[in-house]
Amino acid sequence: MKFVRFSAGGSNSYGILDGDTVKAISGPGYSDYSETGATHALADVTLLAPVEPNKMLAMALNYGSHLHDAPAPERPEPFLKSETSLAGTGDTIRIPSDSEKVDAEAELVVVIGKTATNVSLGDAMDHVFGYSCGNDVSARDWQAGDTSWWRAKSSDTFSPIGPWIVTGIDPTNLDIEGRINGVAAQNCNTSEMIHDIPKTISFISKYMTLEPGDCIFTGTSGTAGQIKPGDTVEVEISQIGTLSNICG
């Protein structure tokens, strides 16, 4: 199933996408929702970020092709991204004028469906609701020069997610392509992750409770491409869809 969050008629709602029809529901897909009876044509709504997380985490150095000369991490290496950096498909990624290099990072995003505290590897996937496309936008000069990554990874609009959340798919063999102005900048498959999704969830939940709606960006591959105002950046993941943003 595809779950969306959308704006129509001046109000924001959650919905289920059925073909080209959006069926409004009473809450997010991971909740005890019901259909409201309202429907909209997809072309008549504005898609928003499909989830409103309490927190977002992202995996550092989780693809061998992104390591360059760095050693592979022995354990998952997550970092926090602020919820205020969230953006949706179609939103503008705002490129800070005082950063010299901002990159797009195409990633699979895991959306948590139920509370996870100190869960085992075997139980980890029971806490997943679904998956979406994500762009872990990164200001490289700030990432290298600041004491922490707070603005390099969490400036406003630096965490686009969308266009929807897909449930019921196998996340272990999905193709990911990142494009800038229609030209491929990144290509990988989720099977290349150094630390897989169950290990990541189990590790994080040992120290930090994951709540319904929380999101985990699972890492990026290769050398991410630089983005500038005026660029169109896309993240396409097989079985999910395409997240598209313009840079401003």
Note the pLDDT tens digit of each residue in 155-167: 999 999 999 999 9
* Non-local CB neighbours of 200 within 8 Å, separated by 6+ positions: 59, 76, 78, 110, 216, 218
- Would you say residue 69 has pLDDT above 90? no
Q: What's the one-letter identity of residue 236?
A: E
Q: Is the model's pLDDT at 9 over the cut of 90?
A: yes
Mean pLDDT, rounded, for 37-64: 97
Give the strand pairing for 56-59 and 215-217: parallel
Q: Which residues on neighbouring strands pair with residue 39, listed in sequence order? A: 23
What are 168's two structure tokens?
């019921």
Which among 180, 163, 162 has a CA at the least distance from the CA of 223? 180
pLDDT score, position 223: 85
CA distance 129 to 125: 9
pTM summary value:
0.97
Whole-number mean pLDDT of the chain? Answer: 97
Element (H, E) at 12: strand 11-18
As a whole number of Å, the CA-based R_g of the chain is 17
Q: Is the pLDDT of residue 64 over 90?
A: no
Structure tokens at 112: 């948590």
Separation of alpha carbons 21 and 35, rounded Å? 13
Does 50 score more than 80 pLDDT? yes
Q: 136 with 220: CB under 8 angstroms?
A: yes
Q: Which residue has the tokens 């989830």?
A: 51
Confidence band of 221 (pLDDT split at 50, 70, 90):
confident
pLDDT tens column, 176-209: 999 999 999 999 999 999 999 999 999 999 999 9
CA angle, 120 as apex, 33 and 167 as ends, to 5°? 35
pLDDT tens-place string over residues 76-119: 999 999 999 999 999 999 999 999 999 999 999 999 999 999 99
